[in-house]
Amino acid sequence: MKKLISIATLIILVAVIFTGCTSEEPQNTKEPIQDQTNEEISLPTVDRAGNEIKVPEEINKIITMAPSIAETLIALDFGDKIIAADTQSTDIEGLSKNIEYFDLMTPDIEKLIELKPDVVFASTMSIVEGNDPFKPLKDLGICVIYIPSSNSIEAIYEDTIFIADVMQVHEKGQKIVDDMQAKIDEFKEKSASIENKKTVYFEIAAAPYMYSFGKGVFLNEMIEIIGAENALGNQESWIAVSEETILAANPDVIITNVNYVENPTDEILSRNGWENITAIKKKQVYYVDNMASSLPNQNIIIALEQMAKAIYPDVY
């Protein structure tokens, strides 16, 4: 898939610009109802952005306006209930072939209303300068649930449980989280024996407009989990990167998830002036799955495995 810019990377860059919404679940956010087995369950009353919501007790028609949310709903076995999604989700496996797609920044509200969804999941990146494109839906009484793009693995866990609770399948959400935690613990156990940690530069946007990250990002946590160090770990959050910065950092390994240029690893290996960087000299430049490494959901484990095997093939 070749596009002007990776759709998953675009999500990150947009999230950087419009960051500021909390992804911590507020307290007292659930109300009890009875499920089909007469067991008491709780529906969230506040979304992940802190907005009050009234979740329908029965959900059969879902619109999802963020690929990370779509993938989580599919993992929870609700792909068949998704009747529409954002245009950045077109390549996600598990979505029905004939669903409609909408721009997540400027959706066609009239068409969304015609679909009569029970619930709409959206990312806060759709809100620009306080303008909520989904307000007309909320005014009509449609449940719109916002989930900010999470920057930590713990927040990803919380997002997963939250979505599962909305869909009244808490145990399925907990199982996904438990499996993630178990896998991460395996990596931590192996990485504990690594003494000489390699430094890693992870590129999410290619030259000349390079982008990466420092602390406070789930990808930084992933680098540390596998026993390496972020070459830009002295900086914060998502950052624009200069060539001078990378030359000075001299990383041992370079990872890229750029998928909008031909042969991204070859492009990095052939950059003028980079020939003395350790990763270039030793040809330690690797590609990892773009979607798995960009979207904050359960699929980060796929990227974690790819990163681990690339950086420490003898360990993993």
221 and 158 fall within a common domain: no
pLDDT digits (tens, 9 = 90+) for 36-94: 444 556 899 999 999 999 999 999 999 999 999 999 999 999 999 999 999 999 999 99
45 and 152 fall within a common domain: yes
**What is the CATH number for 41?**
3.40.50.1980
Residue ending a domain, choose from 113, 144, 178? 178
108 and 174 fall within a common domain: yes
pLDDT digits (tens, 9 = 90+) for 178-201: 999 999 999 999 999 999 999 999
CA atoms within 13 Å, Cβ hemisphere of 27: 0
- The answer as to whether 97 is a domain residue is yes
165 and 205 fall within a common domain: no
For the whole prediction, is pTM greater than 0.75? Answer: yes
CA 116 centroid distance within chain: 27
- The answer as to whether 108 is a domain residue is yes
Residue ending a domain, choose from 178, 213, 247? 178
256 and 125 fall within a common domain: no
Domain count, the chain: 2
For residue 263 the two structure tokens come to 């042969």
Which H or E run contains 136? helix 135-139
How far apart are alpha carbons 211 and 219 in whole angstroms?
A: 13
287: alpha, beta or left? (left if phi > 0; alpha if psi -120 to 50): beta
165 and 79 fall within a common domain: yes
How far apart are alpha carbons 266 and 140 in whole angstroms?
A: 52
109 and 216 fall within a common domain: no
Cα–Cα–Cα angle for 92, 96, 99, rounded to 5 degrees:
100
pLDDT of residue 7: 53
- The answer as to whether 62 is a domain residue is yes
216 and 154 fall within a common domain: no
78 and 110 fall within a common domain: yes
**94 burial level (CB within 10 Å; 0-12, 13-18, 19+):** middle
Cα–Cα–Cα angle for 98, 101, 102, rounded to 5 degrees:
160
167 and 197 fall within a common domain: no
- The answer as to whether 316 is a domain residue is no
pLDDT of residue 60: 97
Write out the residue range of the structural domain in which residue 99 sits. Answer: 7-178
Strands 211-213 and 238-240: antiparallel
Provide the total of helices (H) and of strands (E) in the chain, helices listed first: 12, 13
Segments of the chain with pLDDT less than 70: 1-41
127 and 17 fall within a common domain: yes
Residue ending a domain, choose from 178, 209, 235? 178
- The answer as to whether 183 is a domain residue is no
For residue 198 the two structure tokens come to 């390699």
250 and 296 fall within a common domain: yes
Residues 6+ apart with CB under 8 A from 314: none
- The answer as to whether 107 is a domain residue is yes
